[in-house]
Structure 1
Amino acid sequence: MTKIPRPFTHIDTWVFDLDNTLYPHHVNLWQQVDARIGEFVGSYLHVSAEEARRIQKDYYRRYGTTMRGMMTEHGVRADDFLAYVHQIDHSPLQPNPAMGAAIAKLPGRKLILTNGSTDHADAVLARLGIGSHFEAVFDIIAAELEPKPAPQTYQKFLGLHGVDPQKSAMFEDLARNLVVPHQLGMTTVLVVPDGIKEVVREDWELEGRDAAHVDYVTDDLTGFLQRLV
């Protein structure tokens, strides 16, 4: 049976993930965060870099974020974790006026839904030069430290911002984070690497582009948005 993707004609709210979605995977900004997370885990648990890496990725898969795993298993304070891992160099990000113009033309509201912090989101949006187009950022603190893909996180987001999922679209780089949005009625878009430049991702992070809960797949978010308006 052919999958018929949901349309965009009825959309009045546009929801975007942040990292590896609003900027290309190959910028590898998240690689810096990833390295900082490994350092934090190793230092906190007094284990080798190799063991820290194993724990980091295990918690990421099982809990949605390494931070959630560290909080649950070891009592880590979220503030300490976030403050450390987001001390990165945002300079690899370049302004993207074309994306900003495309986002500005989308009819309705634009919101950010991220497992990162608002401080990190603000820094990313400022470097891209697109922050003025977004009404609000819903971050891991607003989610009460429960990351995507937890169903309650999406419900909190929808409730806080008065969003009707049946009239919303969600853009994400992880297919698993689109399962619940699709179930709720959102039109879903998976943003993937362009296949040309090298990216640092786990194999499972790149899976799911053929999944039933993914309506559209793009390796060029700016171009995709331009074609919508």
Structure 2
Amino acid sequence: MTIAKDSQREYRLHILKQLEENARHLETLDYSGSKVTFPLDQGIPEPDPHAKVFFFDIDNCLYHRSTNIHEIMQQSIRSYLINELSIDEDEAETLNQGYYKEYGLAIRGLMMFHGIDAMEYNRTVDDSLPLQHILKPDLQLRKVLYELRQRGHIDKMWLFTNAYKHHALRVVRILGIADLFDGITYTDYNVGPNSLICKPDPRAFEKAKLESGLGDYSNAYFIDDSGNNVEQGLLLGMSKCIQVVEDNHVDEILGNIPMGALLVNSVSDLPRAVPELFK
């Protein structure tokens, strides 16, 4: 018991130190695109029946899966479960993968069946990731997104993520593209388990539709690395749904490539996938 408590204490101290380092790093960001220019948690606008909105997933979409952030995040989740639920690594992996597959996010299952505080989970798991040692400004990505804005065929470029806002905004700030978006729809962890909704739940898409002011799904473009999420976008009637499949890697938990999806290796390939938006 003493060994377990000592291990938990060391784990929590490590997390605290990493959070402090991450906060210091964010304060130093001053390059182009490192500042968020849209208002957070803005009110619901009047839906515009003519507005065209491009929805962008963030994790493993705006940055390459080959950065291995997904794997680092999975290890962060396992470490949290091992230390906070006092279970072994195999059980932690089973819980994580099972809840992710069932609910789209492991945290929902953890809230429902283990009484986990979602905001503390987010702080410990996502906010503590050392992203500054993995990501850097992506000038090619910025060039493509900037050109998409400048061409004027899209009225709004909108972030649409299953992450909480802290992690989501840290990613786009480090990548140097935070100023190119008009808003964000994120998963609100500060609610009860029955109110926590995320992709591919159609209610999450409806939330993004309302918050962005999109009047009709037929005027929406959507890019995501999850086949399940892309499939839901297609079912809802989004104009074009694009799946990022890097190096032909398809994750079974995220779902296979759905019929009707456009495929790209990265977001930088958008001019090839949707050339009409870059004319």
Task: Normalising by structure 1, report the TM-score.
Answer: 0.85
Deviation per CA, 1:110-140, whole angstroms, max 9, x where unpaired? 0111111111111111111111001112111
8 Å contact from structure 2 (residues 185, 211) kept in 1: no
Match of 1:168?
220
Match of 1:149?
200
Match of 2:243?
190
**Are positions 1:14 and 2:54 aligned together?**
yes
Match of 1:25?
65
Match of 2:171?
124
**Are positions 1:105 and 2:156 aligned together?**
no
Give the letter aligned to residue 206 of structure 2.
Q
Query: Residues of 2 paired with 1:43 and 1:115: CA distance?
Result: 24
Query: Residues of 1 paired with 2:117 and 2:203: CA distance?
Result: 21
- The alignment yields a C-alpha RMSD, in angstroms, of 2.1
Deviation per CA, 1:17-53, whole angstroms, max 9, x where unpaired? 0000001110111222111111122223211011111
Query: Residues of 2 paired with 1:204 and 1:73: CA distance?
Result: 21
Deviation per CA, 1:128-183, whole angstroms, max 9, x where unpaired? 11110011121111895212111111111211221131101110001001222112
Tell me by how many angstroms 1:99 deviates.
Answer: 1.5
What percent of counterpart residues are identical?
Answer: 23
Alignment length (residue pairs): 213
Give the letter aligned to residue 139 of structure 2.
P
Match of 2:270?
224
Match of 1:6?
none
Q: 1:46 to 1:64 in 2, by over 3 A?
A: same
8 Å contact from structure 1 (residues 149, 177) kept in 2: yes
More helix by share: 2
Tell me by how many angstroms 1:11 deviates.
Answer: 8.0
Query: Residues of 1 paired with 2:226 and 2:51: CA distance?
Result: 21
8 Å contact from structure 1 (residues 15, 110) kept in 2: yes
Give the letter aligned to residue 126 of structure 1.
R
Which runs of no fewer than 5 residues in structure 2 stay unpaired? 1-49, 149-153
Moved more, 145-154 or 59-68: 145-154
Tell me by how many angstroms 1:100 deviates.
Answer: 1.4
Report runs of 4+ in structure 1 exceeding 6 Å deviation: none
Query: Residues of 2 paired with 1:44 and 1:100: CA distance?
Result: 39
Query: Residues of 2 paired with 1:131 and 1:96: CA distance?
Result: 12
Deviation per CA, 1:81-117, whole angstroms, max 9, x where unpaired? 1111111111211211221121122232101111111
Larger Rg: 2
Task: Normalising by structure 2, report the TM-score.
Answer: 0.71
Which runs of no fewer than 5 residues in structure 1 stay unpaired? 1-9
Query: Residues of 2 paired with 1:160 and 1:215: CA distance?
Result: 24
